[in-house]
Amino acid sequence: MIHIKNYTASSALAVLLAVTVLIAQSCKQDTKKEKPITVAAAKEKVIEIVTEDMEFQMPDTIASGWNTFRYTNKSSQPHFFLIEKYPKGKTIADAKSEIVPYFSSGMKFINEGQGEQAMAEFGKLPEWYGEVQLMGGSGLVSANKTATTTLKLEPGYYIVECYVKMSNGVFHTTMGMIEDLVVAEEKSGNKEGKADVSIVISSEKGIIFQDSISSGKYRFSVTFNDQIQHENFVGHDVNLVKVDKDAALTTLESWMNWATPTGLKDPAPEGFTFLGGVNDMPAGSHGYFTATLKPGMYALVSEVPNSIRKKLLKTFIVTD
């Protein structure tokens, strides 16, 4: 068995959160049917994803290649969507039979504050678990906001989830924010398009972006020069945040770390509005997001511990 520290960057968190749903729902999903291989959004220019409470309203099958996702958060809590590619032949059913038992016992130890015992349980996970890849998604999106993200996906079986926490500390994944997604062989035919402004992120240099920009609507590219597993088992990503006057960046930094009792827990700290971005992607990958910026202070921040020290929290000013 592979120990958790040897897994691909951030796959540990992704499956940990996904399988908690399976624990809660295992009694009623034993005979889950395979979704039909029909391209529900093959030729659409935009794939709509909507959350009204604790769910993703979205197509079950899309075309491969470049696709633009418009995520509308109609709920009262912050959310994101993260797309995880599963190895060939593996589905939620496999996770239920091969992963759930160990994460169930591991979660018990975590809740009891016994981290060493929890890690020992995770070390019993099957080898294919290390093949799960995080392929992007939106950054965090505040209540009643919409974010647009463009990604390139190869054919395969994926899972989409959100692991922000409710006010009682329960992950949104466990409340129903998990869906499977088939990316078909049929091509979308969409063009990649060009960016107005570029963002580069790496573990060595942090987030590279200019210090100021004029107001307006922009399409940003996000290039991942590398990807590593940080202390909280996730890789770096890019989240766009509007920062109110006098809001403390250290508060934002602390909240972005899910591995603390208050991290990624609703409500989000006052003074920050999340406007999307690009979620974890492998080294060498790139994606895009679109945002309309009004004058004021903004930040680009990763969901990692010590983001300020790591230069993974970058502020910039939007001028008139």
Q: How far apart are CA 147 and CA 149, in angstroms?
A: 7
CATH architecture entry for 4-187 = Sandwich (2.60)
Q: Which residue has the tokens 């899910």?
A: 258
Q: Which of 319, 292, 139 has its CA nearest to residue 222?
A: 139
Q: How far apart are CA 47 and CA 207, in angstroms?
A: 28
> DSSP code of 233?
S
Q: Helix, strand or coil for residue 299? A: strand
Percent of all residues in the chain with a pLDDT value above 90, rounded to a whole number: 61
pTM: 0.84
Among the residue ranges 39-43, 89-93, 184-188, 290-294, the one predicted with the least confidence is: 39-43
Give the model confidence (pLDDT) of 79-123 as tens digits.
Answer: 999 999 989 888 877 765 666 456 545 544 665 777 788 778 778
Q: How far apart are CA 151 and CA 153, in angstroms?
A: 6
Going from the C-alpha of 160 to that of each of 43, 166, 314, the distances in angstroms are: 21, 18, 27
Inform me whether the pLDDT recorded for 170 exceeds 50.
Answer: yes
CATH architecture entry for 197-319 = Sandwich (2.60)
Q: Which of 269, 287, 270 has its CA nearest to residue 278?
A: 287
Q: Which of 140, 132, 177, 125 has its CA nearest to residue 21?
A: 177
Give the model confidence (pLDDT) of 32-76 as tens digits.
Answer: 334 443 444 444 589 999 999 999 999 999 999 999 999 999 999
pLDDT computed for residue 13 by the predictor: 44
Q: Residue range 17-34: average pLDDT?
A: 39
Q: Residue range 128-153: average pLDDT?
A: 94
Tell me whether domains 4-187 and 197-319 share a fold: yes
Q: Which of 87, 153, 134 has its CA nearest to residue 230?
A: 134
Please, are residues 68 and 188 in contact by the beta-carbon 8 Å criterion?
Answer: no
Domains of the chain, by residue range, sit at: 4-187, 197-319
What value does the mean pLDDT of the chain take?
84
Going from the C-alpha of 205 to that of each of 10, 200, 314, the distances in angstroms are: 20, 9, 11
Going from the C-alpha of 253 to that of each of 25, 42, 214, the distances in angstroms are: 33, 39, 25
Q: If you compute the radius of gyration of the chain from its CA atoms, what whole number of angstroms results?
A: 19
Inform me whether the pLDDT recorded for 271 exceeds 90.
Answer: yes
**Phi, psi dihedral angles at 129 (to 5 degrees):** -55, -35
